[in-house]
Structure 1
């Protein structure tokens, strides 16, 4: 299994706009084959910080996800309201 954490930092006052623009991404991603979970969380300490935590069956389905129209549309929609580039970390895990 692959776990992804994508740290999203909004420009001041733009967090709710990013949350709104993420709704289609979340909805359609959860329907993708190989998606185990896909959730957006807001920081309780930083009003401009969000994190997307994703679980995928394997790297191949994650790679396919990153080529979807809804993934690309989200990136284009929020590009100008991000305070910094997304911080993306991937982890390979196995259940024990």
Structure 2
């Protein structure tokens, strides 16, 4: 992971390009992550999208209070299982970009 600004929210955007025959199944799996993730401590934003110009390409956008919160999220059993089996669904590996947020909304971040 690239340089992370301490005490700053950590954002990421990711792209998932599924095998055509697994797209519907992957869509449902990724959708199933939304509600539980939004309730996790440290999850500030968690959104799942589909590209209008390229249906079947999934995009996720996440903002975490800290790298530690993201690490705790990624260590959950269902995400470890997904990570281990992701290539069963994907034509190519996930393309994830980690972002430093320079313009957070002016709401308090509870530590």
**TM-score bin (small chain):** 0.7 to 0.9
What stretches of structure 2 of length at least 5 have no aligned partner? 1-8, 105-111
Kept after mapping to 2: 8 A contact 1:22/1:74? no
Matches within 5 A, 1:34-53: 34-53=42-61
Name segments (4+ residues, structure 1) moved above 3 Å: none
Identify the structure with bigger relative contact order (alpha carbons < 8 Å, sequence gap 6+).
1
Q: Which has more strand, going by share of residues?
A: 1
The structure with the largest alpha-carbon Rg is 2
TM-score normalised by L of structure 2: 0.76
Give the number of aligned pairs. Answer: 96
Q: Which residue of 1 aligns with 2:80?
A: 72
What stretches of structure 1 of length at least 5 have no aligned partner? none
Q: Which residue of 1 aligns with 2:17?
A: 9
